[in-house]
Amino acid sequence: MSAKINKTVEALTCWQKESLTPIRCEAVEGGITNRNFRVEHGNELFFVRLGEDIPVHGVYRFNELAASRAAFSCGISPEVVHAESGAMVLRFIEGKTLEAENLRDHSTMQKVVSLLKKCHLEMPHHLPGSTLIFWVFQVLRGYAKTLREGKSRMIPELSRFMEINKQLEKTVGAVEMRFGHNDLLCGNFIDDGKRLWLIDWDYAGFNSPLFDLANLASNNEYSEDLEKQLLEMYFENAVSADLWKRYFAMKCASLLREAMWSMVSEIHSTLDFDYGQYTTENLERFENTFAQFENL
């Protein structure tokens, strides 16, 4: 960790300036939109997230902060103890970050569904009146515009992606809007040995619950049987052919969004991460899934 970043963490106004208690700070690996740190101050542990707005990805820290506070109020995310420009400080959760295989366990899936229902149904009661919408099909249209303006290497593919986007949006059809997390990577779940926590609300916003379900399944490589179990758990009903097709369209959109997110990051991110390889991996997964969708 550079001395400059360390000084940024130490300079946060939440630490007691009159205290001689040292601040012990260490970087936490894994973030690809933020710089994250574990901070020990006195007898307390904190998790510090450093990150500015990222307009090309629709990430706005006022929205992340509001969602984080609402999630704490619902008991599904750690407490925000301080926030200032470019930084948020939360209580540190001692626990294990989940792996994709953990999220394919039936009992863990049940816990995740419970978390998602709290997110979708309870968080709006704790949010301010003005909150972002994360409509994935509009996100994809925005990414296409950003990629054209940035002279991305993927420009020749964009017209096809937008035609597919239109087809997927039409298939999903009318939806019941809920407040979604919208970034259900395995690393955003923590098991403290007693319960699960859901963290990192960068992309939070109103959306169809189908997106969170599809995003969870696609990010963590669920089999078809697991996907249907997930839908049955969430909707508490058998999976109809119509629901399955709409869900599958949303899964394609989730994978295309991840690939195009990476394409945009290739030309705009300053973080040390192999976005080119990430683009390739996610495009391959999208193409395979879209081929299945066309055969439904």
Distances in whole angstroms, Cα of residue 273 to Cα of each of 34, 47, 71, 203? 12, 22, 29, 19
User: CATH 3.90.1200.10 region(s) of the chain?
Assistant: 97-294
Q: For 3-91, CATH number? A: 3.30.200.20
- Cβ neighbours of 113 (radius 10 Å): 20
Residue 241 pairs in a beta bridge with none
Using CA atoms, how far apart are residues 236 and 244, in angstroms rounded to an integer? 14
Single pTM value for the model:
0.93
Using CA atoms, how far apart are residues 135 and 179, in angstroms rounded to an integer? 11
How much is the pLDDT for 1?
A: 44
143 Cβ contact partners less than 8 Å away, ≥ 6 residues apart: 257, 260, 261, 263, 264
| pLDDT averages per 10-residue partition of the chain, 296 residues | 67 74 81 82 91 94 97 98 95 95 96 98 94 96 98 98 98 96 96 96 97 97 96 97 98 97 93 91 97 95
- CATH number of the domain at 97-294, out of 3.90.1200.10, 3.30.360.10, 1.10.10.10, 3.40.50.300? 3.90.1200.10
69 Cβ contact partners less than 8 Å away, ≥ 6 residues apart: 80, 126
How much is the pLDDT for 30?
A: 66
User: CATH 3.30.200.20 region(s) of the chain?
Assistant: 3-91
How much is the pLDDT for 24?
A: 86
